[in-house]
Structure 1
Amino acid sequence: MTVKAMNAKDVTQKIFNKEHLFILDVRNHADFEDWKIEGHLFNYLNVPYFELLDGVEEILPKLPKDQELLVVCAKEGSSIMVAEMLVEAGVADVSYLQGGMKAWSEHLEPVKAGDLSGGGEMYQFVRIGKGCLSYMVVSQGEAAIIDATRMTDKYMDLANQLGVKITHVFDTHLHADHISGGRTIAEMTGASYWLPPKDAEEVTYEFSHLEDGQEVAIGSTTITIDALYTPGHTIGSTSFIVDEKFLLSGDILFIDSIGRPDLAGMAEDWVTDLRESLYSRYRALSDELVVLPAHFMIIDELNEDGTVSERLGTLFANNHGLNIQDEQQFRALVTENLPPQPNAYQEIRQTNMGKITPNEEQQREMEIGPNRCAVR
């Protein structure tokens, strides 16, 4: 019996459009509690696959009669079998998630985030299942990529679609929660690959040094990417001001939280840097800058068009992490009761340094799970 497939892009559009969806997740309870597909109007039932081997009759009363149903598992196979059982039992509108949670983890959705002077454009790539955000700055036939994921074909596809040449690739810091695609894109295109040197003391490859105050022009317009040294998440963390309009904050500042300083085991040492970056360097910037972070934490941070952004002034008014006047209280917030560190974060850091070269399946396994770059 053939059942319908729903791919990650389909589910992403349902999230963007705030549509209803009922998800039957047949992974084990621990995996579901740790990481699941989140939507504004999604409802869930988690029943491990092995509990359904003898039939789905017991769960039928728990399923909606008037709502689209999506069956989800880790890799796809179990969800197809359960979906077939549901169809045989008379459930009408059933689909399975094509590629399972592995495909969900890897889906990138490009969304236009705004216009730049001289006809340029800013694109945001939303990695919806992982909370990662990356960027393409486009101007006069050229493009720059910031904080690329390892799904490099998505950036190449958009560049080809727009008819632009990728000339510069940046990482705001040495990532610990996902494998960077920056170096690969640079090798494929001949672009310059930029890293903050304080984060790159152990890397095994050549790179361009991204220093405080560095300006890199994209295209022949006045658009510049202006680097702003903002340590705290890592010792080299660097923000970018693009076209005096956008602030790419990396993992220092998010919409509803701030960056954690402990992913290199340096929380006590870097907390002062984090406070200085947020409370002094960012305070000196224009409130009108639109903050574009490298991650989002919860689905409610998405705007109506699917982008993740907010004015810096609004964040200073509403983000709790920017409004802790007592330094000891701030220190406690960012060093105590932190969420678990990202899965395989040490191996991810080593991969991003060029010290190890895991194959594609190993890279997938290293990245599975939610992002955990923020202070709660």
Structure 2
Amino acid sequence: MSLQAMSAGQLARKVMDREPLFILDVRNESDFNDWKIEAHAVETLNIPYFELIDDVERVLEKLPAHKEILVVCAKEGSSKFVAQQIVEATGRDVYYLQGGMKAWSEYLEPVKIGDLAHGGELYQFVRLGKGCLSYMIVSDGEAAVVDPLRMIDTYEQFAEQKKVSITHLIDTHLHADHISGGRHLAQKVGATYWLPPKDAGEVTFSYQPLQDGQEITIGQTKVTIHALHSPGHTIGSTSLIVDNQYLLTGDILFVDSIGRPDLAGKAEDWVGDLRHTLYHLYRSLDPDLIVLPAHFGKITEMNEDGSISARLGDLYASNQGLNIEDEAEFRKTVTEQLPPQPNSYQEIRQTNMGKLTPGPEQQTEMEIGPNRCAVHDR
């Protein structure tokens, strides 16, 4: 029996496959309460590292007999130490999370959403540790990535596996909770970077304006993306209809909630736009469209196959944010009853405008913590 490493990728597969697991999180209580690993079949216990340095005896009786044990901390070192003490005390195999919560925050797991009608495939990249979702549309040797994260190597490696060239990078809006990888990946591979012009008033770089009604064709099989201006989370928020099957909603509509309008300090100005998009524009669309958001807030939003998606018509029956018929009540809900704002969101917006250029470690620190782009979030 021994100490063993578990990678973020291995943990992601366990979460998505709903395998039973016991997690001992040895970070400080405040960090744990702010942000932790969530999964359907995971039991989690938080005991700070400083309480276990001299003796792990207090935790031994709380360890389940028939579940794998994973110890996690911020960067790896503390969890490795505690896990080794548990191995020596129990004689069991015990795992530590390789790279800690930093690695968990940055890992992306690709999930196939479906085949496209005239050839091609659509993939969702699930960032379990942050609740971010991005997409790759693949067709006839080309690919478009929607709402790409800063971990651009993941998309490059996946495109290489699929033997396709990334030709388009698309951000549905100017993000406030994570740093976009769209501009940098476009520069690296020679692709076109698209951004809604109404969100780009302060950007310091060139881009292709993503306008209402814009069509972007991927590959010779003519998988076409239609842009649909859908303001409310930001003034420029733009949804994408792919192959007349899928509705990529950015941060306007989620499976369990709706987008918040306050991250640019203009909640009162944008709440009317948000209501119009959700209660008029989206209601005019085909209810059989499959909604694919840019974020999720809770593990309960995950489907059996690990994807985050739902039929648009079903969301009008189940999503609380789509069923506030009184306009005054809706306005109050989306301007007053909000979770805390994302960590470092102002600096992240500035980075996505090109006004700040934080280094890799600083980028990681800026993004640490849960997704908070929804009204009814954690």
Per the TM superposition, whether the score is higher than 0.5 is yes
TM-score, normalisation: structure 1: 0.99
The reply on whether 1:162 has 2:159 as its aligned counterpart is: no
Corresponding residue number in structure 1 for 2:5: 5
Q: Distance in 1 between matches of 2:274 and 2:340?
A: 19
Q: CA deviation at 1:222?
A: 2.9
Q: CA separation in 2, counterparts of 1:159 and 1:44?
A: 36
1:122 partnered with 2:133? no
Q: CA deviation at 1:65?
A: 1.5
Distance in 2, Cα, partners of 1:63 & 1:181: 40
Q: Secondary structure at the match of 1:136?
A: strand
* Residue 55, structure 1, aligned to residue 76, structure 2: no
Aligned equivalents of 1:44, 1:38: Cα separation in 2: 9
Aligned to 2:173: 173
The residue type equivalent to 1:46 in the other structure is: N
How many angstroms apart in 1 are the aligned matches of 2:73 and 2:163? 38
Q: For 1:253-312, what per-residue CA distance to the aligned partner results, in whole angstroms no more than 9, with x for missing partners?
A: 000100000000111110000000011110000001000000011001111111111110
In structure 2, C-alpha distance between the alignment counterparts of 1:163 and 1:118, rounded to whole Å: 19
Tell me how far apart the structure 2 counterparts of residues 281 and 72 of structure 1 sit (CA, whole Å).
44
Residue 347 in structure 1 maps to residue 347 in structure 2: yes
**Aligned partners of 1:351 and 1:374: how far apart in 2?**
21
**How many matched pairs?**
376
Superposed displacement of residue 91, structure 1: 4.7
- Whether the aligned pair in 2 keeps the contact of 1:67 and 1:93 (CA below 8 Å) is no
Distance in structure 1 (CA, Å) of the matches to 2:189 and 2:357? 21
- Percentage identity across aligned positions? 67
Structure 2 counterpart SS, 1:187:
helix
Cα deviation for residue 115 of structure 1 reads 0.7
TM-score for the superposition, normalised by structure 2? 0.98
Cα distance in 2, alignment partners of residues 36 and 26 from structure 1:
11
| Aligned partner letter, 1:201 | G
1: CA distance, partners of 2:184 / 2:114: 26
**Kept in 1: contact 2:143–2:218 (CA 8 A):** yes
Aligned partner of 1:33 in structure 2 is 33
Counterpart of 2:338 in structure 1 is 338
Query: How does 1:1-376 map onto structure 2 within 5 Å?
Result: 3-376=3-376
Unaligned runs of 5+ in 2: none
Tell me, yes or no, if the aligned pair for 2:120 and 2:140 is still in contact at 8 Å.
yes
CA contact (8 A) 2:116 2:122 kept: yes
Give the deviation of 1:53 after TM superposition.
Answer: 1.2
Q: Write out per-residue CA displacement over residues 213-242 of structure 1, whole angstroms, 9 at most, x where no aligned residue.
A: 001111112321100000000000000000
Deviation at 1:3, TM superposition (A): 1.3
Alpha-carbon shift at residue 16 of structure 1 (Å): 1.1
Partner secondary structure for residue 371 of structure 2 = coil
Q: 1: distance between equivalents of 2:284 and 2:214?
A: 18
1:118, CA displacement in angstroms?
Answer: 2.0
Separation of aligned partners in 2, 1:325 and 1:65: 50
Decide whether the 8 Å contact of 2:72 with 2:96 is kept in 1: yes
The 1-side partners of 2:150 and 2:373 are apart by 18
Quote how far apart the aligned CAs of 1:337 are: 2.2
Aligned partner of residue 119 in structure 1, secondary structure: coil
Classify the secondary structure of the residue corresponding to 2:331: helix
Q: Deviations over 1:317-348 (max 9, x none)?
A: 11111111100010011011210100000010
Query: Using a 3 Å threshold, how does the CA distance of structure 1 residues 372 and 39 change in structure 2: closer, same or farther?
Result: same
